[in-house]
Amino acid sequence: MEDAQPFFASGNYVPIATEHDVADLPIRGELPRGLRGTLFRNGPNPQFAPPDPARHHWFLGDGMVHGFTLGDGRAAWRNRWIRTDKFLAERAAGRALATGFSGGRELGIPDTGVANTSLAWHAGKLLALEEAHLPWALDPATLDTLGVEELGGQPRRFTAHPKADPATGELVFFGYSTAGPLSAEMAWGTLSPAGAVTRYERFPVPFCAMVHDFAVTEHHVLFPLMPLTGSLPRAMRGAPVFAWEPELGGHIGLLRRREGIASLRWFRAEACYAFHVLNAWEDAAGRVLADVMEFAAPPLFPRADGSPSPREATRAHLTRWVLDPAAGTDAFRRERLDDLPGEFPRMDDRRAGLPNRHGAYMGQSRGEGLDTLAWCDLATGGRRHFSVPAGDALSEAVFVPRHAAAAEGDGWLLTVAWRAAEGRSEVLVLDSRDIAAGPVATVALPGRVPHGFHGTWVPANA
């Protein structure tokens, strides 16, 4: 991609070469005594410069996981590359081998992905995830790579964003291109609380698209099939593998969890895109509501002719999609909820799939990097926020309840801050009751955490 090189070569996108083990980090302020566990974060960190920088994309770097363990007033940091098949083949060769989205298949490297996007804690396992391959299991204490989770040999692809059902303990997942690379087929399924595949169904879709996230409610599953298309013929002629084709329009698949794909139906809308879902639920009238970060056109990807989308179109806003299965129409309604552009929405996961009042996302108050933590009250439309100085940036904020019985949204928000002037990172702990007051505790790191994607909190007693 023409605009991908800066994500490899500039600022805090530059990879780091060190795996750290730091047992006792300096802390300003005081860590809350009830905050005991580990914040895990995942992101791309290539171990070698790509062989063809023009074809390198931020999404393709080797996965590196950072673990920040907090408790008893102390903080520690450990980070490790995930030892995927690609990582090990390139380490043995002493150089990068894979080019573009192929992952090195043409060189005989097993197609097991880079595990660089997010993390999930399920069935007592820490899983490193990305959207085109099965999960990789990690040792939560050491971050050692344990291997691919084969999941009984059924699923071929697994999402970076599975949804944990707080009522049943199930993990709901999906995958795209499940009939082969860049194929027009998707699948969805469930894992039991013990980690066994309890359902897996495949179904055709109107076209191959990058479907990064989806939505799950108590009774429904929603698949946003938007026209960020994948094309094998396009890839074979050296054009972008994934490109924006808005003329294809937007599609949202909706099925009932109990009935599965037999109940699948499609809603239509003008083309838009959402990498990430905050939450979804059903209201008293049976409508399905999903709060997403909606783009008019996706960033980081060109149109099919190679031209970029207008810059303003590639800024996301918190938007509510409303689908009414009983309305007798395939249209759905869209309503913008906030005017601050941003990305990476998170919530109190105890309300996943159920109506929620609070949600966070990382805002762009200056129009460029993610410099603001926005904490929204969806009942009143209010928003409180915390911002860092110009040039600094914040990672996705992970919510941790104050205690097991705390009210929804009562707790702490954890984010990693990039301090540009100092060339290092910090872990910030903010109290959800007073976000604007700034962090109650700041953990200073001796190095840098490159800009990444997603994280998860695992309590010490999990």
The pLDDT, as a whole number, for residue 1 is 31
φ and ψ of 413, to 5 deg:
-115, 125
Q: Which residues pair with 321 in a beta bridge?
A: 290, 334
- Per DSSP, the three-state class of 375 is strand
Average pLDDT of span 124-139: 97
The pLDDT, as a whole number, for residue 6 is 47
Residue 302's closest CA among 311, 294, 290? 311
* Separation CA 103–CA 158 (nearest Å): 16
Which tens digits make up the pLDDT trace of 283-312?
999 999 999 999 999 999 999 999 999 999
Average pLDDT of span 320-343: 95
Decide if pLDDT at 133 tops 50. Answer: yes
The pLDDT, as a whole number, for residue 256 is 98
* Separation CA 75–CA 31 (nearest Å): 9
212 is in an annotated binding site: yes
Which tens digits make up the pLDDT trace of 339-356?
999 999 999 999 999 999
b/e 421-458 (16+ beta carbons within 10 angstroms → b): eeebbbbbbbbbeebeeebbbbbebeebbbbbbbbbbb
The pLDDT, as a whole number, for residue 3 is 40
454 is in an annotated binding site: yes
CB 159 within 8 A of CB 175: yes
* Separation CA 413–CA 121 (nearest Å): 18
The pLDDT, as a whole number, for residue 105 is 81
Average pLDDT of span 374-395: 97
* Separation CA 264–CA 203 (nearest Å): 9
CB 373 within 8 A of CB 430: yes
b/e 336-346 (16+ beta carbons within 10 angstroms → b): ebbebbbbbbb
The pLDDT, as a whole number, for residue 429 is 98
CB 308 within 8 A of CB 302: yes
CB 225 within 8 A of CB 211: yes
The pTM (predicted TM-score) of the whole model is 0.96
- Per DSSP, the three-state class of 230 is strand
Which tens digits make up the pLDDT trace of 180-204?
999 999 999 999 999 999 999 999 9
The pLDDT, as a whole number, for residue 8 is 62
* Separation CA 396–CA 375 (nearest Å): 12
Which tens digits make up the pLDDT trace of 150-185?
998 889 899 999 999 999 999 999 999 999 999 999
Average pLDDT of span 262-287: 96
Per-residue confidence band for 52, with pLDDT thresholds at 50, 70 and 90? confident
CB 356 within 8 A of CB 339: no
One-letter amino acid for residue 108 of the chain:
G
161 is in an annotated binding site: yes
Whole-number average pLDDT of the chain: 94
* Separation CA 282–CA 354 (nearest Å): 7
The pLDDT, as a whole number, for residue 108 is 87
- Per DSSP, the three-state class of 313 is helix
**Percent with pLDDT over 90 in the chain:** 88
Q: In what order do the strands lie in the sheet with 342-346?
A: 342-346, 358-363, 372-377, 382-387
Range with the poorest average pLDDT among 44-58, 71-85, 152-166, 289-303: 44-58
The pLDDT, as a whole number, for residue 14 is 93
Residue in the block written with tokens 């950072």: 66
Query: Would you state the structure tokens that stand for residue 99, as one six-digit string?
Result: 């080019």
* Separation CA 196–CA 151 (nearest Å): 7
The pLDDT, as a whole number, for residue 401 is 98
Average pLDDT of span 64-85: 97
Average pLDDT of span 35-42: 98
Average pLDDT of span 248-270: 96
Phi-psi region of 113 (alpha: psi -120 to 50; beta: other; left: phi over 0): left
Average pLDDT of span 134-140: 98
